[in-house]
Amino acid sequence: MPLYRCLTRVEIGDGGRTSFWHDDWLPGGPLSISAAALYSHTTSPEATVAQALAGGIDSILAPRLSRVGARELDSLRAALDEVALGDGADRRSLTRCSGPRNKLITGALYRLCNFGGVSSANAGFIWRCHTPSRVSFFGWLLTLSRVQTRDTLLRKTIVDAAGAGCPLCDATLETASHMTLHCPVAARFWSTVGVEVPRDFHVRDLHLLPMPSSISMETAPTFALLCCWQLWKQRNAAVFRGEVPSLPLLLKLCRDDATMWRGRFPDSQRSHIDAWHVCLGGT
């Protein structure tokens, strides 16, 4: 779904099936990009347009905003004043990679995913995983260092150098590699599941990170993405909700996802997920 969102625009009806932050439904494009500072303060990244408008924009934001965030909120309030929800369903149409009758052209999508022909070594690794599409999309952005870690916010001048440090340790710059691989919180996690992360390993090489030998080759890429996905969610829980990172909780959430994702694998590989549970501290 996240990839599909990048390719589509929504004409708002009742707002019930449109992501407030991630869909392209306002003239300026997705708010997670056009109002990135404000988005970094949301407490509900998955809110629909209907939910955000019913509860009011303040209901999905942290109480204190940065200066840039407050400015973006002012502009957004003006844009939201123009929005009136209707009774019908939201209507989504392809704006990229579309062919006759608004059908998706997969060849064009492949070229887009490879950034105009510059292919990513991770592309096959990510898109062949048995992850939910939102996790695949996250993985793709992660390996390109395009997730909203603080180095990215620094580049966009949304935070200054003093605000670009890791929220979970005293590292002076939070990068995608730091957050998922080298932050002490992440390092403890990887060590517990039996993964030795080489020093200076970069997240763009995630497909080369050696997984524990008990994890089958067929399921290893999905296992790696699952771990990164939960590390990202834990980081966001700490940043946006002030939750204290907990290794036992992180492992449990990974095991829960492993259980849920089992059905996404072919029958012949489903039993491989038992080994995931053992690595993740289950029995």
Q: Does position 7 bind Zn ion by CB under 5 A?
A: no
The answer to whether 12 and 100 are in contact (CB under 8 A) is no
Binding of Zn ion by 238 (CB under 5 A): no
Stretch that binds Zn ion, among 10-18, 33-41, 163-171, 201-209 (CB under 5 A): 163-171
Which one among 61, 154, 159, 166 touches Zn ion, defined by CB under 5 A? 166
Residue 173 falls in which region: left (phi positive, over 0), alpha (psi -120 to 50) or beta: beta
- Rule CB under 5 A: say whether 144 interacts with Zn ion: no
Tell me the number of residues near Zn ion by CB under 5 A.
Answer: 5
Q: What is the largest CA-CA distance in the chain?
A: 56
Tokens of 173: 């710059």
Nearest to 14 by CA among 91, 88, 82, 92: 88
Indicate whether 171 belongs to the interface with Zn ion (CB under 5 A): yes
Candidates 47-55, 72-80, 161-169, 266-274; binding stretch for Zn ion (CB under 5 A): 161-169
Q: Which stretch binds Zn ion (CB under 5 A): 119-127, 135-143, 148-156, 171-179?
A: 171-179
Site for Zn ion in 181-200 (CB under 5 A): 183
Q: Quick one: which segment of 39-47, 177-185, 236-244, 272-280 binds Zn ion (CB under 5 A)? A: 177-185
Nearer to Zn ion, 168 or 273 (CB): 168
How far apart are the C-alpha atoms of 154 and 150, rounded to whole Å? 6
- Closer by beta carbon to Zn ion, 169 or else 278: 169
| CA-based end-to-end distance of the chain | 33
- 112 vs 169, which CB is nearer to Zn ion? 169
| Residue 149 buriedness (CB in 10 A; 0-12 / 13-18 / 19+) | buried
Is 169 near Zn ion (CB under 5 A)? yes
Q: Do 227 and 253 contact (CB within 8 A), yes or no?
A: no
Contact 139, 126 (CB under 8 A): yes
Of 28 and 198, which has the nearer Cβ to Zn ion? 198
10 has which bridge partners? 92
Residues that bind Zn ion (CB under 5 A): 166, 168-169, 171, 183
